[in-house]
Amino acid sequence: KNEVEQSPQNLTAQEGEFITINCSYSVGISALHWLQQHPGGGIVSLFMLSSGKKKHGRLIATINIQEKHSSLHITASHPRDSAVYICAVTGGATNKLIFGTGTLLAVQP
């Protein structure tokens, strides 16, 4: 079993829909990261959080430490949101990232 699990693996939405991607982890962490990767592109950090909720534009990330669960929400989705969204956690002496397998999101116009 992976230490970081994401669902769904693939998601297709219509423009304007509200989107939720879920992440569960089984290890102790110092922080949880939501990352975005476009095809052929590098990885961009969207959020880093250790408690509560953060909002940036149309993106909202929440984390429940007790339940070891986080969600990434996208409001009013747009085709340019199409990308792979990756949940990753840091912890331990080196704070290396442990990645989930990603969620491939396609937003259709």
Partner 1 sequence: GAGVSQSPRYKVAKRGQDVALRCDPISGHVSLFWYQQALGQGPEFLTYFQNEAQLDKSGLPSDRFFAERPEGSVSTLKIQRTQKEDSAVYLCASSLGFWGQDQMNTEAFFGQGTRLTVV
The residues that touch partner 1, with contacts defined as CB under 8 A, are 30-31, 33, 35, 41-45, 48, 50, 86, 90, 93-102
* Smaller CB separation from partner 1, 30 or 75: 30
* Smaller CB separation from partner 1, 69 or 99: 99
* CA of residue 102 relative to chain centroid, distance: 8
Q: How far is the CB of 66 from partner 1 (least distance, A)?
A: 18
Q: How far is the CB of 62 from partner 1 (least distance, A)?
A: 17
* Smaller CB separation from partner 1, 7 or 30: 30
The token duo for 66 is 């007790």
CA distances from 94 to 30, 63, 79, 98 (A): 11, 22, 37, 11
* Smaller CB separation from partner 1, 41 or 79: 41
Task: With H, G, I as helix, E, B as strand and everything else as coil, classify residue 95.
Answer: coil
The span from the CA of 16 to the CA of 108, in Å, is 9
Q: How far is the CB of 6 from partner 1 (least distance, A)?
A: 9
The token duo for 48 is 């880093």
